[in-house]
Amino acid sequence: MLQIPFIRDNKELTLAGLRKRNFANAEAVVEQLLDLDQQRRDTQKTLDDGLARQNAIAKEIGQLMKTGQKEAAEAAKAETADLKAQSKTLTDQLADLEQQLQAILVTVPNLPHSSVPVGRSAEDNEVVLEWGEKPILHADAQPHWELIKRYGPNGGPMIDFDLGNKISGAGFPVYKGKAARLQRAMINFFLDEALAADYSEVQPPIVINEASGFGTGQLPDKEGQMYYATADELYLIPTAEVPITNLYRDVLVAEAELPIRHVGYTPCFRREAGSWGAHVRGLNRLHQFDKVEIVRIERPENSYAALEQMSQYVQGLLQKLELPYRVLRLCGGDMGFTSALTYDMEVWSAAQGRWLEVSSVSNFETYQANRLKLRAKLDGNKPTLLHTLNGSALALPRIVASILENNQTPEGIRIPAVLVPYCGFEVIS
């Protein structure tokens, strides 16, 4: 979350950033925060002055007793009792003011980077680049939700939504035969590529507690989108970003450890409440899906160079998969709550005739680190907040959809050459 001293010292910059995000009532919220901050600081000063006076009186009482000034000593004791009562009242007031401040701060999104375009929706996102040629399909080409019915074992679908619906519900498909092997192949390929790019692999839990959800900003912003195990008060993760970044919650990182670069594979779970329509058909929108995530923790001055490196890395994966793609810089109205700058990578779905988002790569600057209390002593100075970044590298469902659709031929579906050693087959037929 944002830091009060920054808002206090950069009021106009804060307001401009919140306006770019189309944050409702930005002026009123900032004024409320600054008013509460001033009350807190005034209360803290009064409390500190009272405590200092108590310490001074304690010394005076000792001197008065030594010199036999019993009456004056008793008066000093009475003043101390009054000051202690006042201190308790002020301490309670301070805690209440702090609680009010935090309650508002957690509702305020991160400020966008200066390069973030102005806009309200996905239509206002900026196209940074486009790569590859869009394939021209044969006349009988089909979208993936039709293709999957033709290539499964024993005449059934290779990705079975009806069977998943019987077991769990809508949005939980069962992968069979070559579809299951393709899933495993892609996970291993993505992990191997990340290891070759000097990321360190971790396998984190796929359930998190409330503190972890708060640390990376999913709580209290997105609790309605996460599955919640009420008996144990645990959430199923929406992305590996959450547990991997939380490895460093309340950690003072040694400077020599930076930069920290992790990769992890996990299943991910999202309720996606309110998502309906043709654009979420088939693999386009699932409640459970597999994803490989990259996470970096950087010195503040290096984080935007790291973001560009992460973008290039994800683009390299898409190029190796031979998928035409484009890179978008998200506008202020379309960015995630915690992000300062996000690039989305979208692949072209030839059979659907539209772009499908397959990755987001984001820099959160100090927003998550402030919640996580993730710091390091840099260059011998006092502890400072680090910058956190993450990116999908990659989420599988829409990559699978694009491979199936873009590579379909009358004879079958061609597997990208880079995946053949992992799959053990060249064609799904």
Q: Strand 375-377 and strand 252-253: pairing?
A: parallel
359 is in an annotated binding site: yes
Is the bond preceding residue 220 a cis peptide, omega within 30 degrees?
yes
Find out whether 270 is annotated in a ligand binding site: yes
Which residues have C-beta within 8 Å of that of residue 181, sequence separation ≥ 6?
423, 424, 425
- Residue 275: how many CB atoms within 10 A of its CB? 14
Tokens 């499964």 found at? 152
- Tokens representing 98 are 């702090």
* 30, containing H or E segment: helix 26-66
Q: State yes or no: 130 annotated in a binding site.
A: no
Measured distance CA(156)–CA(150) in Å, rounded: 7
Q: Which stretches of 315-386 are assigned E, i.e. beta strand?
A: 325-329, 341-349, 354-363, 375-377, 383-385
Do the strands 159-160 and 174-175 form a parallel or antiparallel pair, or are they unpaired? antiparallel
Do β-strands 126-131 and 325-329 pair in parallel, antiparallel, or remain unpaired? antiparallel
User: Any known ligand binding at 79?
Assistant: no
Query: Does 239 show up as a binding residue in the annotation?
Result: yes
Q: Is there a binding annotation on residue 358? A: yes
Q: Is 357 labelled a binding residue?
A: yes
Judge residue 274's burial from the number of C-beta atoms within 10 Å of its C-beta, 0-12 exposed, 13-18 middle, 19 or more buried: exposed
Asked if residue 80 belongs to a known ligand binding site, the reply is no
323 with 348: CB under 8 angstroms?
A: yes
- Helix and strand numbers, DSSP H then E, in the chain: 13, 19
57 touches 51 (CB < 8 A): no
DSSP output for 128-141: EEEESPPPPPPTT-
360 marked ligand binding residue: yes
Q: Judge whether 50 and 83 are in contact, CB under 8 Å.
A: yes
Residue 89 phi, psi dihedral angles, 5° rounding: -60, -45
CA distance 332 to 370: 21
**Residue 341: beta bridge partners?**
363
Comparing C-alpha atoms, which of 290, 339, 321, 356 is closest to residue 143?
A: 356
Q: What angle do CA 169, 172, 174 make, to 5 degrees?
A: 115
φ/ψ (deg, to 5) at 201 = -80, 135
Max distance between CA atoms of the chain, in angstroms, equals 108
> Does the annotation place 349 within a ligand binding site?
no
3-state secondary structure (DSSP) of residue 401: helix
- Per the annotation, where are the binding residues? 239, 270-272, 293, 357-360, 390
Annotated binding residues for L-serine, written as ranges, equal: 239, 270, 293, 390
Annotated binding site for ATP: 270-272, 357-360
